Amino acid sequence: MKKTRITYEYSHDAIKDSVFRHAKALRLPEGWGEQLAERIAKATDAWIEDKDIVTEDDLQNFICKELEEVSPDIAFAYRNHDKII
């Protein structure tokens, strides 16, 4: 049986919103969360620019690596968002 591939259009705003939601969930100051989210989204924009195809795992790993440098707590929450109860 052939697997169906789902593709998504990359969105700077979606990355930014996702990171910001995690920052808010951890109750970081809103201004810092917004700055962090924009920084990560811009870094992701630059990283993805020369890529033809990126998997969700590739994208998540890159974002987590970037987050790890500035906020290990958000990186953990981002990486485990579907596992946290």
User: pLDDT by residue (tens digit) across 49-81?
Assistant: 999 889 989 999 999 999 999 989 889 988 887
Query: Which string of b and e fits 19-51 if b means at least 16 CB within 10 Å?
Result: bbebbeeeebeeeebbebbebbbebbeebeeee
Residue 31 within any structural domain of the chain:
yes
Residue 32 within any structural domain of the chain:
yes
Residue 1 within any structural domain of the chain:
no
User: pLDDT by residue (tens digit) across 14-61?
Assistant: 999 999 999 998 899 999 999 999 999 999 999 999 998 899 899 999
Residue 50 within any structural domain of the chain:
yes
Rounded Cα distance, 33 and 39, in Å: 10
CA-nearest of 46, 39, 32, 37 to 17 is 37
For the chain, the domain total comes to 1
Residue 73 within any structural domain of the chain:
yes
Residue 54 within any structural domain of the chain:
yes
Residue 6 within any structural domain of the chain:
no
pTM above 0.95, yes or no: no
Residue range(s) defining the domain that contains residue 24: 12-79
Residue 61 within any structural domain of the chain:
yes
